Chains A and B, each alone.
Chain A
Amino acid sequence: MTDHLPILLLLLPLFGSLICVLLGRNNAAHSWVVAMISLGGSALLSLLMLIKVLGLKSGDFRYRMGGWPESSSYEVGIELRVDVLACLIVLAVMLVGFLNTIYSKTRVPAEVGEKGSFFYALIQLLIVGLCGIIMTNDAFNLYVLIEITSLTSYALIAMGNRRAALSSFNYVIMGTIGASFYLLGVGYLYIKTGTLNIDDIHNYLQSEDLWASQSIVVAFILIMLGVWTKMAFFPLHGWLPNAYSYAPSMTGTFMAPLMTKVMVYVMIRVMLWLFGSDFVYSPESIWSELIIWMSVVAIVAGSFLALARNDIKKMLTYLIIAEVGYMVGGVWLGNLNGQAGAFYHILSDAAMTFCLFIAASIVIIRTGESRLNAFDDLFRKMPITMIGFTIGGLSMIGLPPTCGFFSKWYLIKGGVEAGQWEFVVALLFSSLINAVIFFKIFERAYFGKIKGIKEEVTVQDRDTIPAGGIKSVPLSMLIPLCVGSLSILIIGIMNKNIFSWITKALEMVNG
């Protein structure tokens, strides 16, 4: 039974989405129930899978789709491959999906109206796609799943407000270009090796010693470009801020924490499993040096762009771009600490982005204001929401004991070990900029607004600001926020365990 876990947790949401379309057509509430059951079930299954994999001696296991037997020469069957890394990130996707469904309970009727059941169908398909991307061991299958996630996310974004359609179109163009690059790269690999199974490609390249081949280098570059476009690695980030901030709030809260992170994981897979660390970090290549500088630029630029925004969600989306720089740079440091730190940051960034996006959405919905002044005096009016936001913010800055501190710890350690001081400086710099960004908000939320320049705010003034609807935030929004902010602390405090799992898994592939 447990051997079938990988496919079972994909099938639940897949059928869930079908049921939503077929049966829940005119009733979003029924679709909500279906989505809750399917995602909750899948989250449980992925937890079981994690426990199973942690118990395995070999560290990973494979699932042959359709029972297709393994062939020694010419591989045609599709394979799912699950190790601790895949389990962790699948669990993250499922949990975010589940919590986000709770959050969407009141938002779907309010924001997408009668299209509610389609929303649930699409979001479940998106989750199937993401988990497939994480688990698949087939390069072409990976492309198909990337397309599934892209197509569903175009539709999900386009459900948003008036400007969403245009941002979605922008995303379509960029996403298609990125996916095409990836496909082209896989094509080169297929021509050279005649197989699409990731392990087989790697073994073939290894045994035939094709590393010097131009087509392999070109394939690597094309795949990297494709993946970078999809993960919004600066300067290929243009599509992201508008898409995420104009999408319906429950779409943003799901996609912002996960989409870019999953693509970072794809990059790690491609680099370490498909091509292998010997090729990627080979001492002759200048790539490491170059890409670390690119990530430094991404971090600095993302931080500055975020600092300049006055719109809450836009600001958060630029922070994501900076965080993508963290992870790309971390992986390219070429040592275990960097790679593991980057992977750990995938988890912690998912937790804190989720937390911040939920909190920001609540604030925007409740105050009706999407600029930073929505936060005025919110510590008094919406204390729980603000505590959640504060934990997320402190984690972004990187203060202990939040997970943001520990991911920075490992990344900086990796940078110090590799002697890449520019990366260390960029990380610290981004911490400082994040501190400015978030304390600016905390200050507003804590003191309320100051009228005029010299005028002092007295307590009486603050009391007269109407608090009416702001105080009542439905439980369905608060629960995901609380769980999200708790998970930031849990991931932080458990970092030693998680980190040792990650390093063990990475040591296996690095040899």
Chain B
Amino acid sequence: MASVEFSLIPFLAWLVSLLAVPAIILLGKKPDAREGITFLAAIVKFGLVLLMLPLVREGKILHFSFGEIIEGIPIEFRVDGLGMLFAIVASSLWILTSLYALGYMRSLKEHDQTRFFACFALSLSATIGVAFAGNLLTLYIFYEILSLSTYPLVTHHGDKEARSGGRTYLSHLLGTSVAFVLPAMIYCYWKKGGDINFTDGSLLTTDLGSGAGLIVLLAFTFGFAKNGLMPFHSWLPNAMVAPTPVSALLHAVAVVKVGVFCVIRVFTGVFGIELLKKLDIAVVVSWIAAFTVITSSLIALSQDNLKRRLAFSTIGQLSYIILGVSLLSDFGVTGSILHVAMHAFGKITLFFCAGAIYVAMHKKYVSELVGIGRKMPITMTAFAIGSLSVIGLPFTGGLVSKWYLVMGTAQSDQIALLVVFLISSILNACYFLPIVYRAFFCRPEESLYEGGRQEAPLACLIPLCITALLSVISFFNPGLFIELAGLISNK
């Protein structure tokens, strides 16, 4: 049993980016100072998260409470291995994305940059709130705040397309959470008789029948629609109208990972693996996820818009995570938690590259990228590394998590699902490798580009090199992530 310890640090880590919001708005007229605040907040936040790391590794659980808001339900933070891992990923990538956003927004001379950075900080605060949430209500509240605070980011351009994308975004995310999560949460509250705090075991008791259990489980899994599970996935490709830094951090990392994070929480903290094994209902979720994995990969094959292709790839990769945790085996759960981090590094690299291509060349379509490798060699090399990671090839972090996931299928004797993983990997290769191949290896007359190198500004280039590097490092040195993931799954 892990020891629970009161700590102010989770609260501070959450507060830092929240405090940045008014500061950013006040300094709206001075762009340099404004971005200074963003960096300061991002670095302090990362520092605070790291400060908690040794404690969590010792097996402690850090705890902070704002006081009860409904009888028996406090608003509280509770930092364990899973939350820690997610917080590290989100807060470290915030620093890089801030740098990238700086380069991207300024080179394109985007409007309303103050609003952009303010909402960005707010959504990071909500993300950390979700990561550290100690009970379902806290989780739900920050989940909703995240949906609302990212809406202005998604619709940043304010044109017809952005509006309809924003509409799909909100209607899917708010609609499902209100319609499914809220009643499921209240049902748990009523069934438990007065509290819905996450525990190491199961919040629900065994007198729950399989039928009711399945309904609640599906309500949660579909309700957290940020996880992109079909059929509530279409907000994700539509949200690609957002500026690329938004797509990168929020739609490859923060928002979508919040969705799968919530699902992992529901599996491990609300139901508990043991109870799910007993009820034998998780396999339904497995097959829905498997269906999503294959279908989204097939759709991704046919997308010409680079960001849309990445979006569908994300949908598939998110379902890996759901599939992994629904296997209910040690390897599966570890693998899916690892995949939260590994996929984040890989996918954010790809999005950064897509944005860099747009900034430097104003190209958005896959068919326009023939021969771009000679024009933007650094970007496309990073792109290649990111692709390898998402496909799950050596020497990138993606292989590690995929290894665990595949082991998980074997461990729980789901050979059919193992085949799903393999097919999906092949499909991933099919929609990524041709881009890389044609960017570098094409005959001179096929190439759409001429002239010397022309990379994106340094502020865009540095972050994507770092994230690509992180993808590689996490292959050679995945120890920390495996350890944190193990804190949950090896119970």
Contacts and interface: CB of A to CB of B under 8 A. Distances in A.
Contacts of A446: 152, 155
B159 A457 contact: yes
Contact of B171 (A409, A416, A436, A493): A436
B183 A459 contact: no
Interface string B166-193: 1100110011001100110011011000
Nearest to B152: A446
Contacts of A432: 175, 178-179
B159 A456 contact: yes
A424 B163 contact: no
B480 interface: no
B195 interface: no
Contacts of B70: 406, 409, 495-496, 499
A432 B177 CA distance: 10
Given A399-B144, A401-B69, A496-B71, A413 B186 contact: yes
Interface size class of B (residues with CB under 8 A): 20 to 34
A443 B144 contact: no
A457 B183 contact: no
Contacts of A495: 69-70
B140 A400 contact: yes
A496 B171 CA distance: 30
A500 interface: yes
B160 A456 contact: yes
Nearest to B69: A496
A401 B141 contact: yes
Interface in B184-231: 186-187, 189-190
A450 B166 CA distance: 15
B68 interface: yes
Nearest to A459: B111
A424 B141 contact: no
Interface size class of A (residues with CB under 8 A): 35 or more
A431 interface: yes
A413 B194 CA distance: 11
B160 A454 contact: yes
Contacts of B190: 413, 416-417
A330 to B, nearest CB: 14
B158 interface: yes
Contacts of B71: 496, 499-500
B126 to A, nearest CB: 12
A424 B155 CA distance: 32
Contact of A416 (B155, B158, B175, B187): B187
A412 interface: yes
Contacts of B159: 450, 456-457
Contacts of B163: 443, 447, 450
A462 to B, nearest CB: 9
A499 B72 CA distance: 13
Contacts of B166: 443
A241 B111 CA distance: 42
Contacts of B160: 450, 453-456
A511 B279 CA distance: 40
Contacts of B186: 409, 412-413, 416
Contacts of A428: 178-179, 182-183
Q: Which 3 A-B pairs have the closest CB atoms?
A: A456-B159, A400-B141, A412-B186
5 contacts: A397-B174, A406-B70, A413-B190, A431-B178, A457-B158
Given A397-B178, A428-B179, A456-B159, 4 more contacts: A428-B182, A435-B170, A453-B160, A457-B159
